[in-house]
Amino acid sequence: METQHQLEENLKAQLIQQLNLAEMKPEDIKPEAPLFGDGGLGLDSIDALEIIVLIEKNYGIKILNSEKVKEIFYSVRTLAEYISQNQKT
């Protein structure tokens, strides 16, 4: 089982690859920084869809609760927490 830190690091690498953040390195992404909007990575709605696909493809988790998406997708940390809580062991 991955530790929270390992999971966050893996997520950063996967986001960079999947979202084509070519100018970015994992260390440039702070786990607590917002992914969307100003002051974060500046991701858009297409990126959000791509993250949904990434989570399903890499972790087998379907995000069905659309009301909580904003909360889950807030940062790498919140994403990692959601994955930890929902991943089948």
Partner 1 sequence: MKNFISGYCIVRDSKINLNGKIIFEQDAELNSFLTNAYRKFNINYPKFFKMDLLCKLAFISSEILLKENNPVNKYKENETALVLSNHASSLDTDRNYFKTIEDKQNYFPSPSVFVYTLPNILIGEISIRNKITGENVFFISEKFNPGLLCLYTNMLFASGNTNCVLAGWMEVDKEKYDGFIYLVEKINPHPVTEHEKDRVSALYYKG
Sites of contact with partner 1 (CB under 8 A): 18-23, 42, 46-47, 49-50, 53, 56-57
- Closer CB to partner 1, 13 or 53, in the complex: 53
Q: Minimal distance in Å, beta carbon 23 to partner 1? A: 6
- Closer CB to partner 1, 11 or 19, in the complex: 19
The 3-class SS string of 15-69 reads HHHHCCCCCCCHHHCCCCCCCECCCCCCECHHHHHHHHHHHHHHHCCCCCCHHHH
Q: Minimal distance in Å, beta carbon 41 to partner 1? A: 9
- Closer CB to partner 1, 3 or 58, in the complex: 58
Residue 1 token pair: 């089982």
Q: How far apart are CA 62 and CA 52, in angstroms?
A: 8
